[in-house]
């Protein structure tokens, strides 16, 4: 019987310990807790041969598209520029190629209609305490993992219950509800562009404001046309990192930045919203870079909202954003020169209120959607008479 010496035992032990722990250590080092996982792009795909056989009552030929030989069309409403063969459906699920023409399937068939406080959009510098008739059809050109309206943004128009509400009826409803504005919101308004712009033109004639609540993923030409009828917008700036845009939203950063530039050039009042997702959008350096870009390209007057993230939809394994992170981001943004920075989804936070950029006094105190204190008169601070950017009552 062979036996093992003490020296052999120790040698074997040392060698095997090193041998068996190395792969584990390598795996652990590779997965590294501070590293982000392998790059992933959650962008949507074109739905091949998914168009309905026949158009329905809520169809209309699209405003922006190009045609190619062989009945091929390219939708140019958003930067995805979906190339659709006959019978194909776009990434946003709302546009189809029927016999070489591009049609929208979301015209006059909103699936969600509500009257909301304008602060809910959020729009803090536009007709405060007014009400907005909010409408949405299905469809979105993004695939945000934390979408709070996934029930309508990630489905086809045929698969929901909807209202029969053509543009003129939307105006009637807004008047009936005494809404000061109409918000194109919830899902992605760009995907029901034709319905939105036709409704907006009628609304403008009736003195009703038009609000575009969007991810900003739109091409400059349709956006310029839209700006002609827009009164205000809230556009998400989901991150200042292209990889995060691809991974969490299925889009690209640059087109969104171009949207901000266009809105700014066209003089549309707009506010920006950044949802601070832990682990993705919570790097102070990135936020500082983002704010510097805003100040340089858009100036200091466009309000910026930092929203607290809560686990939602598919992104439900992350904790909420710590409030101090939002407080810190607000400070960073204000230090870089943005004058109006808000903190959302945190009731009672100092960042819910509006302070004069000049004298620092409280202009608007907000308790939820209620406004107990209001110190703006004729667009100016009641204390120092500085002009406050926005459209005030």
Q: Which residues of 369-389 are buried (b: 16+ CB within 10 A; e: fewer)?
A: eebeebbbeeebbeeeeeebb
Site track 129-158 with other proteins (rule: CB under 8 A), x = hit? -----x-x--------x--xxxxx-xx---
If the CB atoms of residues 33 and 378 are measured against other proteins, the closer one turns out to be 33
Select from 318, 358, 362, 392 the one that contacts other proteins (CB under 8 A). Answer: 318
Q: What is the DSSP string of 32-80?
A: -TTSPPSP-------BTT-S-SS--TT-EE-SSEEEETTTEEEE-SSTT
Rounded Cα–Cα distance for residues 88 and 101 (Å): 11
Using CB under 8 A as the binding rule, the residues of this chain from 25 to 54 that contact other proteins are 25, 27-28, 30-31, 33-34, 36-38, 40, 42
261: its two tokens: 């530039």
For residue 243, how many C-alpha atoms fall within 13 Å in the half-sphere facing its CB?
9
If the CB atoms of residues 247 and 357 are measured against other proteins, the closer one turns out to be 247
Select from 43, 81, 115, 130 the one that contacts other proteins (CB under 8 A). Answer: 115
Select from 69, 70, 207, 348 the one that contacts other proteins (CB under 8 A). Answer: 348
Q: Which of 275, 339, 332 is nearest to 303 (CA)?
A: 339
| Backbone phi and psi for residue 374, each to the nearest 5 degrees, phi listed first | -145, 110
Q: How many residues bind other proteins (CB under 8 A)?
A: 75
Select from 179, 180, 248, 332 the one that contacts other proteins (CB under 8 A). Answer: 248
Using CB under 8 A as the binding rule, the residues of this chain from 277 to 306 that contact other proteins are 277-280, 282
If the CB atoms of residues 150 and 166 are measured against other proteins, the closer one turns out to be 150
Contact between 99 and other proteins by CB under 8 A: the answer reads no
Using CB under 8 A as the binding rule, the residues of this chain from 52 to 91 that contact other proteins are none
If the CB atoms of residues 34 and 49 are measured against other proteins, the closer one turns out to be 34
Choose one: 65-73, 191-199, 253-261, 323-331; the region binding other proteins (CB under 8 A): 323-331
Using CB under 8 A as the binding rule, the residues of this chain from 200 to 229 that contact other proteins are none
Choose one: 18-26, 77-85, 258-266, 293-301; the region binding other proteins (CB under 8 A): 18-26
Q: Which residues of 228-257 are buried (b: 16+ CB within 10 A; e: fewer)?
A: ebbbbbbbbbbbbbeebbbbbbbbbbebbb
Q: Are 192 and 174 in contact (CB under 8 A)?
A: no
If the CB atoms of residues 219 and 236 are measured against other proteins, the closer one turns out to be 236
Q: Which of 186, 134, 191 is nearest to 157 (CA)?
A: 191
If the CB atoms of residues 11 and 297 are measured against other proteins, the closer one turns out to be 11
239: its two tokens: 């991150």
């Amino acid at each position: 019987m062979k036996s093992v010496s003490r020296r052999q035992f120790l040698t074997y032990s040392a060698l095997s310990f090193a041998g068996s722990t190395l792969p584990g250590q390598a795996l652990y080092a590779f997965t590294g807790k501070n590293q982000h996982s392998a790059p992933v792009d959650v962008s949507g795909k074109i739905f091949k041969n998914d168009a309905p056989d026949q158009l329905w009552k809520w169809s209309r030929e699209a405003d922006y598209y190009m045609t190619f030989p062989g009945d091929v069309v390219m939708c140019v409403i958003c930067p995805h520029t979906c190339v659709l063969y006959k019978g194909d459906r776009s990434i946003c699920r709302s546009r189809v190629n029927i016999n070489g023409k591009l049609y929208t399937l979301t015209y006059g068939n909103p699936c969600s209609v509500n009257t909301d406080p304008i602060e809910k959009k959020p729009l803090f510098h536009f007709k405060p305490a007014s009400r907005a008739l909010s409408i949405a059809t299905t469809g979105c050109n993004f695939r945000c993992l934390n979408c709070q309206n996934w029930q309508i943004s990630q489905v086809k128009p045929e698969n929901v219950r909807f209202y029969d509400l053509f543009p003129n009826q939307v105006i009637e409803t807004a008047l009936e509800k005494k809404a000061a504005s109409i918000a194109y919101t919830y899902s992605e308004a760009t995907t029901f562009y034709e319905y939105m712009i036709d409704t907006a033109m009628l609304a403008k004639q009736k003195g009703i404001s038009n609000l575009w609540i969007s991810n900003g993923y739109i091409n400059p030409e349709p956006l310029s046309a839209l700006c002609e009828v827009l009164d205000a917008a809230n556009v998400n700036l989901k991150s200042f990192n292209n990889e995060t845009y691809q991974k969490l939203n299925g889009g690209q950063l640059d087109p969104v930045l171009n949207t901000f530039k266009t809105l700014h050039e066209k003089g549309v009042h707009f506010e920006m919203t950044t949802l601070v997702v832990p682990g993705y959008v919570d790097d102070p350096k990135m936020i500082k870079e983002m704010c510097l870009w805003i100040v340089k390209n858009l100036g200091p007057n466009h309000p910026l909202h930092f929203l607290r993230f809560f686990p939602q939809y598919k992104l439900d394994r992350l904790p909420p954003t710590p409030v101090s992170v939002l407080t810190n981001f607000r400070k960073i943004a204000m230090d870089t020169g943005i004058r109006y920075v808000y903190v959302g989804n945190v009731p009672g936070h100092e960042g819910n209120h509006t302070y004069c950029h000049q004298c620092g006094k409280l202009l608007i105190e907000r308790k939820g959607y209620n406004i107990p204190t209001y110190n703006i008169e004729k667009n100016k601070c009641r204390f120092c008479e500085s002009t406050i950017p926005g459209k005030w009552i």
